[in-house]
Each structure stands twice: as C-alpha cells, then as structure tokens.
Amino acid sequence: MKIYDTMQKKVVPFRLNKNRIVKMYVCGPTVYDSPHIGHAKTYIFFDALAKYLRAQGFQVFYVQNITDLDDKIITKAAQENLPTEIISKRYLMDYLKIMKSLKIDSVNLYVPATMEFRKIISQIKTLVRKGYAYETDDGVYFSVSRFPDYGKLSGQDLNSLRSGSRIDINENKRDPRDFVIWKKMKPGEPYWDSPWGKGRPGWHIEDTAITDAFLGKTYDIHGGGSDLIFPHHEAEIAIERSVSGRKILSRYWIHTGMLNIEGEKMSKSLHNYVTIDEVLKDFTPEDLRYALLNCQFNTQLSFSGELMEESRKNVNALSSIYNKLKQKAGDENMESDYSIINSLDSFLEYNIDFRGMFSKLMSYVSEWNKNLDAMDSREASLSLSALKWVNEFTGVIREGENSARSDDLIRLLLSARKSLRTAKDFSSSDAIRSGLRKLGVHIEDQGSETIWWYSDTEGE
RNA sequence: GGAUAGGUGGCAGAGCGGUCAUGCGUGGGACUGCAGAUCCCAUCUAAUAGGGUUCGACUCCCUACCUAUCCUCCA
C-alpha cells in the first residue's frame, strides 16, 4: 500500500512493523458547536481508513482527542451565561451522537484534553527544564528557535515566518514565532492550578499529552484536516520531539483536503457551512458517506446539491443490487470472489483511492444487473462477497435487515401485497407500498419477486 | 511574497505518450398494472493559453495566466 505523506510531500510506501499493529491518532473537534459536513469529510475518511486497515488484517488502535477547554468554549459559555463544562459536555454528547449516526464507530478511544491534565503539566515542566520553553507575565511559551525542524512539515521557511506580519505582536514573546503552551488566567476565566499559577493549557500541548499517554512517543499515523498542518501539527512535532528527544513523532502524516462550497472552504467563520444534521434530514448517512468518500482524500471536494443527488442515486443502485443479489444468494455459503476484490483493492493500494474504487465498482454493478437473471445462487453469493467487502469499510450500502421481528412483519405484508397484485387489486397493493415507504421501507418489484430495504429517510 | 494541490466534455472527476474512464445530466427505445429499478442506443467528436520534445501529446518539458487551501482560530 502507498499513501501520500505530508512530511515527505509525496506518495510513499506504507510500511509497518511485523506485528501488524497500527497506532493511529486523529485530531478531534473543539466542542463548542455542532459539527458541519466539512468535519464529516475528515472523520468519515479516517473511519473508512481504520476499517480498511483492519480488513487488511492490521490491528488498528485509533485514538481521537476532544478539545474540551479552549477560548471558543469560554466565549460560548460567556454568551450563554453557563459554566464551560456544561457547554463542552453538551457538544461532546452532540458530537458522539452525530458520529454514531454517520456509522463512524472505528475509534477505540475518545480522550478529552482535561483528562490528561497531569501529563500536560509534566510536559510543560520538562520543556522548561530542558530550556525549550520560558515563562512570561501571561504564560509559558515554546521557543521555536530551539527546534530547527520547525516548519519542515508545512514547508515553511523559518525566516519568512519570523518576518510574517500576520503574526500577532506580543510583547511577552521573545520571538514572534513562539507559541503558547500555558495561558495564565485572566479575570473570569476557568482555571487549573499549576507551577506557573492559575491558568489553562495551550491547544497544541493537549494533543501531545494525549498521544504520549496512549500511543507513546512515536506512533504510526497522525491525521487531521489539512488546515491543521500549520501551526498545529508543526507545534505538536516541536513539543513532543523536544520532550522525547526522538527524531520522529509520527511515521506518516495524513491530511484530508478541505470541503469547499461555492469555491471556498466551508467554515464557521465564513458562515458558509451546512451542518451534518441538516444534510441528514434529506439524505441518508450512506448518501453522505458516499459523497464525501468519492474523491481523492487529500484533495479538495466541492459540496453541492448535485453532489448529494448523484450520491443518492449511486447508493440506491448499490443498495438495490446488493439486496437483489442477497435474495438470489439465499443461504449459499459465502465464498469470496478475490478476482473482483483484488481489482477493487488495487485502487486502495495506491493512495486509498475510494473514488477510483467506486467507479470500478459501478462497472461491476452494471455487469451484475445485466447477468442477474442468469445467475445461480453461487454466482450471486460470489458477487455479493465483493459488495460486502466494500461495505465493511465504506458503509455506503443500505441493507434490508434490522430486527428479525420487523423483517418478518415486512415479509408478511409483502406476501399479502403479492396476493393483491395477483388479484389485480392495485389500489390496495399500492396502499401497502406507499404505507411502507412512509415508514422508511423501500420496495421494488422485480418480475414476480419483490426486494426491499430500509431507506432511513421517509418517502416523499 | 512563500508552501501545497490543481486547471479535462452540461456537471463532478480518473487514467494513459498512439485504443470505452466512471458517475450524474440530457434525448430516444425496451421492460412494467403503475412506481421504481434495470438494460440498449444516442448525446457530448473534452483537454486554460503559448512554445518545445516526439512519427504522434490531454498525457513529458518550459513559459504565462487562472483557482483553492495554508502561512491567524479552524477537520
């Protein structure tokens, strides 16, 4: 497998240790507001990546942080006149609920930054002791000049950063490039006690404390949106390598391209965002997963209504053939068709190209539709195995299965409907169809057979 | 100004130095009680501009122009 590594700025072979354990870390959200579909793009990709690696036989330990103390949370809390913990807890619950609704369930551990508070303090202490950080009137700063590799990940030149006029002039900093790792409390702000008085940690050191605690001083994959490359990931490298004394923090740096809308990055500050909840009112999680995976992960993707409509069609086509094949396969023992799976996998082997894989998959779907009538149960089962393989990590197929009891009820209704259709009582049979559709059950007549699946959204 | 990606048919978006991407859209047909889905045919004779290399370039090289992201909190 090969993958684009931001540090080396090219597609490189993905090599891992012999025991096939992958330690993976992805920067999670700051919990001060509901996530939008730009966030979804990143988290769905890493969900699919973790599941794909697991399907390939790797043991993936996937950790994500939650930034639950931060200026934005403080601002929000002040606006609502509530304690910061109430705000962060509310949006943490919101975030977890939404992740679940998007079928993102590959993360082994979500770690709120406040949980690793002791580690944060001990890291700052170490940095100060080793001379990498210094205390001022308003906080503790990391001294960038002490870390020559600063700028390597983002391709920034240290000197051009120094003269950068866009960096805030802060009298307390010895060097404008230095970044804060401990902020001393201002009146009215939440605080923790520390050797440097009351205050709170800076953003960058929250992550290094968590990775150090759960993944060690060197791990395999560090991921996040491309907007985190500078300064966040750059700062993480500077902090952790200064603490550990090692040459490498993460073996691979994987960054997802931004989601654009009308030619610009979707973001809170530009007020051009669409929340995940809003999209899920009109589309299924599968539709959104397909839409956001159907691109090169490290390039930008434009969001639009057409994109969602196109995805819905493709998800429908996949779900339709999936359920048709399933019906045809019956109880046939599942063997895997490796010729198909390998041809699909070849797209993932080179830079996890889900889009390329989908385009190949759609060609197979067309083939299967053509040959469906002539297929026997074994052939159907083989084709089905490829779809199951894809769905294992992409999660883009709507399956016609839920609890056994409701499945049985639906089958009962469909057999009644079949009798009505045979008797040409179409008004009654159509009433059953539209009634089921309102309950989120999609049905299609295939000659004398009827296939069905749960569509999640209510019928129009 | 610097860094990183790009500029392909109505849209999204691949690969490849000379042969169908794929999907959506559009037009027509088949099938169907109707929906839906599916299949067939067609549509689009695509490549930011200007040079160069070549028997031949969308694909390689150079130049110009343009777009987005980052250089400030941000997935």
Which residue lies nearest B11, CA-to-C1' measured?
A: A306
**Amino acid A39 CA to nucleotide B48 C1' distance, rounded Å:** 32
| Backbone φ and ψ of A350, nearest 5° | -105, 100
What is the dihedral sign for C-alpha A108, A346, A301, A306? negative
Query: Distances in Å between the alpha carbon of A310 and those of A299, A352, A450, A458?
Result: 19, 21, 25, 19
Are A49 and A252 spatial neighbours (Cβ–Cβ below 8 Å)? no
The phi and psi torsions of A453 (rounded to 5 degrees) equal -160, 165
Sign of the dihedral defined by the CA atoms of residues A185, A188, A193, A197, in that order: positive
A314: which nucleotide lies closest, measuring CA to C1'? B23
Q: Quick one: average pLDDT of A46-63?
A: 97
A9 CA from B51 C1′ (Å):
30
Flag the least confident range among A7-21, A109-123, A263-277, A343-357. A7-21
CB-CB contact of A133 with A141 (8 Å): yes
For A424 and B75, how far is CA from C1' in angstroms? 55
CA of A173 to C1' of B28 (A): 72
Residue of least CA–C1' distance to B36: A444
Strand B nucleotides, any atom under 7 Å to a protein CB: 1-6, 11-14, 21-25, 32-40, 67-75
Tell me the C-alpha distance between A77 and A87, whole Å: 6
Please tell me the predicted confidence (pLDDT) of residue A167: 54
Question: Cis before residue A13, ω within 30 degrees of 0?
Answer: no
Residues A199/A135, Cβ–Cβ less than 8 Å:
no
Please give the ipTM for the structure prediction: 0.94
Ordered by start, the domain boundaries in chain A are 2-256, 276-394, 404-454
Nearest C-alpha neighbor of A251 from the set A423, A62, A451, A6: A6
Cα–Cα distance between A112 and A91 in angstroms, integer?
A: 12
The tokens describing A265, both together, are 């990055």
Residue A72: nearest nucleotide (C-alpha to C1'): B73
In angstroms, the CA A148 to CA A238 distance is: 9
CA dihedral A87, A90, A93, A95 (to 10 degrees): -60
**pLDDT at position A409:** 87
Is the pLDDT at A166 greater than 70? The verdict is no
Find the nucleotide nearest A41 (Cα to C1′).
B75
Residue A112 parent element (H or E): strand A109-112
As a dihedral over the C-alpha atoms of residue A263, residue A265, residue A270, residue A276, rounded to 10 degrees, the angle is 110
Alpha-carbon torsion A191, A193, A199, A202, what sign? negative
CA of A324 to C1' of B29 (A): 25
Nearest nt (C1') from A256 Cα: B75
Give Cα A22 distance to the centre of its chain.
Answer: 17
For A170-191, what is each residue's pLDDT tens digit? 777 888 899 999 999 999 899 9
Whole-angstrom distance, CA of residue A452 vs CA of residue A440? 10
pLDDT at A399: 81
* Average pLDDT rounded to a whole number, residues A447-460: 69
Rounded to whole angstroms, the distance from the CA of residue A358 to the C1' of nucleotide B56 is 33
A401: confidence class by pLDDT, cuts 50, 70, 90 = low
- Does residue A168 have a pLDDT over 60? no
- Please report, rounded to whole angstroms, the spatial distance between the CA atom of protein residue A167 and the C1' atom of nucleotide B72: 7
CA of A345 to C1' of B61 (A): 34
How far separated are the first and last CA of chain A, in Å rounded?
43
Q: How confident is the model at residue A289 (pLDDT cuts 50, 70, 90)?
A: very high
Residue linked to tokens 């201002």 = A186
Higher-scoring residue by pLDDT: A391, A171:
A391
Rounded mean pLDDT, A95-113: 97
Could you tell me which residues come within 8 angstroms of residue A95 by beta carbon, excluding any fewer than 6 positions away?
A28, A29, A31, A35, A66
Once rounded to an integer, what is the mean pLDDT over residues A261-278?
Answer: 94
pLDDT tens digits for range A89-103: 999 999 999 999 999
Round to a whole number and report the distance in Å from the CA of A67 to the C1' of B7: 37
Chain-centroid distance of CA A215 in Å reads 19
Q: In 10 A of CB A108, how many CB atoms? A: 12
Query: pLDDT at position A164, please?
Result: 47
Percentage with pLDDT > 90 across chain A: 80
Return the bridge partners of A179, or none.
Answer: A142
**Averaged confidence pLDDT in chain A:** 92
SS3 assignment, position A244: helix
**Closest nt by CA–C1' to A42:** B75
Cα A24 to its chain centre, rounded Å, is: 13
Nucleotide nearest to A26 (CA to C1'): B75
pLDDT band at A400 (very low <50, low <70, confident <90, very high): low
Q: Which nucleotide is nearest to A421 (CA to C1')?
A: B33
Helices (H), A33-189: 37-55, 71-80, 84-101, 117-129, 158-162
**Contact between residue A56 and residue A3 where contact means Cβ atoms under 8 Å apart:** no
- Give the per-residue pLDDT at A327: 85
Domain A2-256 matching CATH 3.40.50.620: the answer reads: yes
Residue A109, pLDDT above cutoff 70: yes
